[in-house]
Chain A
Amino acid sequence: MPSLNDYLVLSAILFSIGTAGVFVRRNLITILLSIEIMLNAVNLTFVAFGRQFGTVDGQIIAFFVMTVAAAEAAVGLAIVIALFRHKESLNPDSFATLKW
């Protein structure tokens, strides 16, 4: 049987992959996908801890995280569409008008 630690290590690996994606990619859509990877890594932690303690709270928190992820994806993609209409580009460095 895999232990709680195995699940936590897997979650840490997935979270690091998501973080690396946010820093390495130059495409707004891929950056949003990397954020989804990070949210899922956290979900896995919640469910694993919920299993460890035998409560339903882990799964319920994961459920709320999913609804927040859905809202974030809807608003984020709407912003991406608006930005793409503006500059015909998805590179985050194209949107540096506010940069000092």
Chain B
Amino acid sequence: MIPFYVFASLAVVASLLVIAQRNPIYSVLLLIASFGALSGLYVLLDGYFIAVVQIIIYAGAIMVLFLFVVMLLNAPHEDTDYDERTHPLRRRGAMRFGAVLAVALAVELVWALGRSSGSSSFARAPAPTVAAIGRSLFNEYSFSFEVTSILILVAMVGAVVLARRDSPASGGAAKDR
């Protein structure tokens, strides 16, 4: 019980700080801490495979990609006059509809979970092993697995095309701005 609360409070506090930071670098680093706590929760749920994948892929690959982009762009902090003027919480009337919807979502989630009477502990079923995951992944889910490879390929080509600088030879369409 104690490890659950330690990891859960760590994840919640780190996530709150992520959206409270003005410097994107701190946001990314705090999100890595949050992912570490989530990985601990997966271990508590006997999901060893997903815990390791969480660390390797999320904290190791995706967050490093974010960190690279933040440093590459030398991203400006959001504290200019323009940012203050366009802040969503400073708008009036119908422009705040999105914030109202977000509060409604949170209230609804808490309400729905409060109505469920689940104080039962987890079933003592044997936890699935990594071997069982691999067997299921390459039998039942083999089609999804192959489709995922196409998705990754499309994302890779798309990222290269989108982030490419226009070469001078290919016309100056982007230079007009």
Contacts and interface: CB of A to CB of B under 8 A. Distances in A.
Interface of A: 1-10, 12-21, 23-27, 29-30, 32-34, 36-37, 40, 43-44, 47-48, 50-60, 62-64, 66-75, 77-82, 84-86, 89-91, 93
A16 B38 CA distance: 16
Nearest to B84: A26
A67 B62 CA distance: 10
Given A57-B136, A79-B162, A90-B75, A70 B123 contact: no
Sorted nearest first, the 7 A-B pairs with minimum C-beta distance are A54-B125, A71-B155, A21-B19, A78-B162, A5-B118, A12-B109, A16-B106
B159 A26 contact: no
Contact of A13 (B12, B18, B49, B98): B12
B132 interface: yes
B162 A90 contact: no
B170 interface: no
Contact of B113 (A8, A17, A53, A72): A8
B119 to A, nearest CB: 6
21 contacts: A3-B120, A4-B118, A6-B8, A14-B15, A16-B106, A19-B102, A27-B24, A27-B75, A29-B28, A34-B19, A36-B31, A36-B62, A40-B35, A50-B47, A56-B128, A56-B132, A58-B47, A64-B144, A66-B57, A75-B158, A82-B162
B66 A23 contact: no
A10 B11 contact: yes
Contacts, number: 234
Interface string B156-168: 1011101101000
Interface in B96-149: 98-99, 102, 105-106, 109-110, 113, 116, 118-123, 125-128, 132-133, 136-137, 141, 144, 148
A36 B30 CA distance: 13
Contacts of A85: 165
Nearest to A21: B19
A82 B119 contact: no
A27 to B, nearest CB: 5
Contacts of A60: 133, 136-137, 141
Nearest to B50: A59
B52 to A, nearest CB: 11
B1 to A, nearest CB: 6
Contact of A33 (B31, B83, B113, B165): B31
Nearest to A85: B165
B66 A44 contact: no
Nearest to B16: A17
